[in-house]
Amino acid sequence: MLRKLNIFLLSLLIVCPLTRGQNDNNHFIDSISDLPDTTKLNLLHEKALKELNSSLVTSLEYAEQHRRIAHAINNIDELARNWHLTGNLYMSANLTTDAMNNYQEAYHLYDSLGNNDGVASILHNLGLVSYINQDTAKTIEYYTRSVNFRKENLSSTRIADELVTLGEAYLSFKDYDNSRKYLGSALQHYNKDGIKNYKRKFDVFAYLFDVCIANKMNNCKHWIDSMQKANQSLKSEICDNMIKLRLSKYYLSVDSMNLSSSYADSIDFSMLYKTEVIRPYSILKRISDKYLDSDDHVNALIFRQKYRDKDAGYADWRVRKLVADYKTRLGIRKSEEEIKLRNEQNRIVLQKIKIEKTISLLIYLAIGITLIMMVYILYNLSGISNANKQLALRNRNLKEAYERSTRYKERILNIRENKNIFFTIVSLKLKEPFIKLSSRLSDVNDYLATNSKDLRLKRMITSVYNEASEIEKALKRVLLWSKLQRNKYEIEREPVKPYDYFHEILPEILGNALKKDIKIRFDVDPDLEIVFDRSSLKSILKIFTENSVEHSPPGSDIIIRAQKSKKGSIISVTDFGSGIPASIQNKIFEISRLKENESSNKTMKLGLGLLIATTMAEKNNSVLSYESKENAGTTFFVHIKNNYDRE
C-alpha cells in the first residue's frame, strides 16, 4: 500500500508541473503568434534559457517551437543556434548521448556557415561531454581544436578560457607538464588583455598551485597569494573555500600540521564539489596519513573519520543529483513522446489538407485548361485569315525598311569616310605651312630680342609666335586624333623601364616649364618594368605635363611617379596648381565637354589632349583616373594592368 502511494505521489510531482507548463507554453506561443518570425525566434530562445531553472521539459518545448519556425523560414543560423541550445539543455540533465547528437548537428551547421566562434563553442562542449564520459583522448582532441579556432578569431580572453579548460583537463588526467604549459599560456593571454576580477583567471592560479604541489616544486605559496589578491575583488565564498583548501595542502607539504588541520576544518567541502578537478575532501585523508606517519594516532583517527563522513556526504550528493537527473529524464522522455505524438498528428492533418488541396487544384486546373483551350481554338480560327494578311503587309514593310536602312547606311559610311579624308587633308595641308611659319616667327622673335629696341613690336611678334605655336600644336593634335579615330595609329607594345625612359624624354616634356621656372621631379622605382607603346607613353606624359605647367604658378613643382601596384603599375603626374573646376570634373574625359566649353574658350586650344591620352591608354590595356581639388592641385594616374613579369 505504501509503495502504491509513493508511485502515485511521484506521478503527481511529474505530471502536474508538465500539465501546468504545457498550458503556460501554449499561452506564451499564442501571445507571440502575430510577431515577425525573427522576433519569435529571439523570444523563444530567451524563454527556453529562462525556463531552464524551473522546468527543463518546458525549455525543451520552447526549443522545439524555435526549431519549427527556423525550419519553416529555412534560417540556417537559427537552426545551428537551436541545435546548440538543445544540446545545452540535455547537458544540464546529464543526458550526454542526446547532448552529443545535438552538438554534432550544430557543429556541422556552424562549420558550413564558416562561424568559427560557434564551432569553437561546440568543440568546447563536446570536450566536456567526453570528459564526463571519461574519454581522455576525445576530451584533449576537442579542447585542443577549440583553442585553435579561438586563436583564429584573435580573442585573447576567449582563447585564455579555452586554454584554462584544456589545462584543467590535463590536470584531471595527471598530465602535469601539459597542464602547466596550457595554464601558463592562459595566464599570459589574460595579462595581455589586462583582465582582472575574473573567475577563470582565479581558477588558473588554483590549478597552477595544484600542479606545483603535485610536482613538489618550490614557491607554491606564490599562487595562493595571487588567489587571495584576486578574491579581494571577487569576494566569492566559493573562492574563499578554494583558498583554504590550498592553504591546507601547502602547510601539509611543509609539515605544518596544526595550520593544515585548522584550514581543513574551516572548509565547506560541499561548495567545492562542482569546481574542483580533484576531490576536495581527499586532503582529510592525506592529513590523516600524515598524522599516522608521525605516530599521532588520535588525530589520524579523527581526520580519517572526517574523511569518511565527507566521502559519505559526497556520495549522498551524487545520489541526490542522480535522482534529480532521473526525474528530469522521465519528464523529458514523456515530453518527447508527447511532442512526437503531436508532430505525427499534425503531419497526418497536414497531409490530409495537402491531398484535398491537390485534388481541388487539379480539378480547377483541368477546368481552366479546358476553357483556355476552347477560347484559344476559337480565337485562332477567327484570327488566322487576319494574321496572314497582317504578316504579308508586315513583310512588305520590313523589306522596304531594310532597303531604306541599307541606303542610309551607305550614305552614312560615305559621309564618315569623306569627313575623315577631309580632316586628313586639312591637317596634312596646313601642318607644313604652320610649321614653317612657326619656325620663321621663332627666328624673327630671336632676332628682335637681340637687335630691336621696339618693345611693342617685340610683344606683337611674341604674341604672333605663341598663337602660331598653339595653332601648330592644335593641328598636330587634330591629326593624331584623326589617326586614333580611324585606327591608323600603330601601337608597338614592348618592355619599358620608366626610370630610364623618363630621363630619356625629359627634354621633350620640359616645354614651357623652363619659362615658368617650374621644376619637374621624378619619383620612380628603378626596378619597375612595364609593357607599353613608347610613343603613346611619351604623348600621354607630354599632355599631362603641359596641362600641369599651364595651370601651375611659376616656381612650383611637378612630380612624375611610377610605382608598382597590386594589379600592375601606376604612373602619375602631380601638380600644385589651380585644380580642375568642380563643375567639369565628371566630364573631363568626355568629348561633349568640348562643345559645352566652346563659347567660353578664348584660346587656340581644342581640348583634345585628355581625349587623346584616354584613347592611347585604352589601346595599351590601361585606364586613366585623376584626383583634383580646386586651388590645391591635380594628379592624373595611368593604371597599367599588364605589368611585365619575368620568371
pLDDT digits (tens, 9 = 90+) for 305-340: 988 888 888 888 777 766 666 666 666 666 666 667
Provide CB contacts within 8 A for 51, sequence distance 6+. Answer: 21, 58, 59, 62
| Residue 528: partners with Cβ closer than 8 Å, 6 or more residues away | 497, 498, 499, 562, 563, 564, 569
Instruction: Give me the pLDDT at residue 414, please.
Output: 66
207: phi > 0 → left, psi -120 to 50 → alpha, else beta; which? alpha
The architecture CATH gives domain 491-640: 2-Layer Sandwich (3.30)
Q: What is the mean pLDDT of residues 134-144?
A: 82
Angstrom distance (rounded) from CA 200 to CA 162: 10
436 burial via Cβ count (<10 Å: 0-12, 13-18, 19+): exposed
Distance (Å, whole) CA 516 – CA 113 = 63
Full strand arrangement of the beta sheet holding 633-640: 519-524, 557-565, 568-575, 633-640, 622-629
Distance CA 393, CA 310 (A): 108
Rounded CA gap, 162 and 156, in Å? 10
Q: Are strands 530-533 and 519-524 parallel, antiparallel or unpaired?
A: unpaired
Residue 463 has what pLDDT? Answer: 72
Tell me: the pLDDT tens digits for 371-385? 998 898 888 887 887
Mean pLDDT of 428-448: 64
Other residues' Cβ atoms within 10 Å of the Cβ of residue 379: 10
pLDDT in tens, 91-130: 877 788 888 899 888 888 888 888 888 888 888 888 888 8
Write the DSSP assignment of 609-632 as a string of letters.
HHHHHHHHHHHTTEEEEEEEETTT
**Structure confidence at residue 363 (pLDDT):** 92
CB 533 within 8 A of CB 496: no
CA distances 331 to 17, 60, 61, 83, Å, are 9, 11, 12, 20
DSSP states along 364-400: HHHHHHHHHHHHHHHHHHHHHHHHHHHHHHHHHHHHH
Grid coordinates in use for 331?
Answer: 519528464
Lowest mean pLDDT among 91-95, 228-232, 430-434, 586-590: 430-434
Positive or negative, the CA dihedral 348, 353, 356, 359 is negative
- Looking at residues 256-267, what average pLDDT do you find? 89
Between 467 and 357, whose confidence is greater?
357
Whether the per-residue pLDDT at 607 is higher than 70: the answer is no
Q: Where in the chain is the domain with CATH 3.30.565.10?
A: 491-640
Task: List the CATH code of the domain at 157-280.
Answer: 1.25.40
Residue 218, all three cell numbers:
618550490
Residue 481 · residue 440 · CB < 8 Å = no
Confidence grade of residue 574 (pLDDT, cut at 50, 70, 90): very high
For all residues of the chain together, what is the average pLDDT? 80
In tens, the pLDDT along 164-187 reads 888 888 888 888 899 888 888 888
pLDDT category of residue 452 using cuts at 50, 70 and 90: low
Rounded to whole angstroms, the Cα distance separating 245 from 247 reads 6
Q: Rounded CA gap, 584 and 590, in Å?
A: 10
Quick one: what percent of the chain has pLDDT higher than 70?
80
pLDDT band at 6 (very low <50, low <70, confident <90, very high): very low
Q: pLDDT tens digits for 360-369?
A: 889 999 999 9
How high is the pLDDT of residue 505? 84
Strand partners, 522: 560
Which amino acid appears at position 48 of this protein?
A
At residue 2, does pLDDT exceed 60?
Answer: no
pLDDT in tens, 42-86: 888 888 888 777 777 788 888 888 888 888 888 888 888 889 888
- pLDDT value at position 116? 83
- Grid coordinates representing 567? 594589379
pLDDT of residue 18: 44
3-class SS of residue 551: coil
The DSSP symbol for 314 reads H
What per-residue string of b and e applies to 97-118 under the rule 16 or more CB within 10 Å gives b? ebbbebbebbbebbeeeebbeb
Q: Evaluate the CA torsion angle 48, 49, 50, 54 in order and state its sign.
A: positive
Which position has the grid cell 613538489? 216
pLDDT recorded at residue 638:
93
- Indicate where the chain has its CATH 1.25.40.10 domain(s): 19-154
Place of cell 526525474: 327
Which residues touch 221 (CB under 8 Å, ≥6 apart)? 250
pLDDT tier at 509, thresholds 50, 70, 90: confident
Sheet strands (E) in 505-589: 519-524, 530-533, 557-565, 568-575
Strands 557-565 and 519-524 turn out to be parallel
Instruction: Read off the pLDDT of each residue in 179-198 and give the average, rounded to a whole number.
Output: 85
Instruction: Count CB atoms within 10 A of the CB of residue 522.
Output: 13
Distance, in Å, from the CA atom of 330 to the CA atom of 18, rounded to the nearest integer, reads 11
On whether the CB atoms of residues 420 and 486 are closer than 8 A, the answer is yes
Predicted pLDDT at 9 = 40
Give the containing element (helix H, strand E) for 192: helix 176-192
Q: Is the pTM of this model over 0.85?
A: no
pLDDT in tens, 407-420: 878 777 766 665 55
Residue by residue, DSSP assigns 329-351 as HHHHHHHHHHHHHHHHHHHHHHH
Look up residue 543 and give its three cell numbers.
599632355
Provide the pLDDT for residue 16.
47
**pLDDT value of residue 28:** 74
User: What is the arithmetic mean of pLDDT over 432-448?
Assistant: 66
What is 19-154's CATH topology? Answer: 1.25.40
User: Pairing between strand 568-575 and 633-640?
Assistant: antiparallel
Query: How far is 341 from 339, CA to CA, in rounded Å?
Result: 5
Task: Identify which of 579, 582, 553 has the alpha carbon closest to the alpha carbon of residue 636.
Answer: 579
Q: How many CA atoms lie within 13 A of 200 on its CB side?
A: 20
Element at 215 (helix H, strand E): none
The mean pLDDT value for 289-302 works out to: 88
Q: Please tell me what DSSP assigns to residue 230.
A: H
Cell numbers placing 623: 585606364
H-helix or E-strand spanning residue 453: none
Between CA 525 and CA 571 the distance in angstroms is 11
Pairing of strands 493-496, 530-533: antiparallel
How confident is the model at residue 573, as a pLDDT?
Answer: 94
pLDDT digits (tens, 9 = 90+) for 534-560: 988 988 998 888 888 888 899 899 999
Least confident range from 103-107, 219-223, 539-543, 596-600: namely 596-600
Q: What is the pLDDT of residue 434?
A: 60
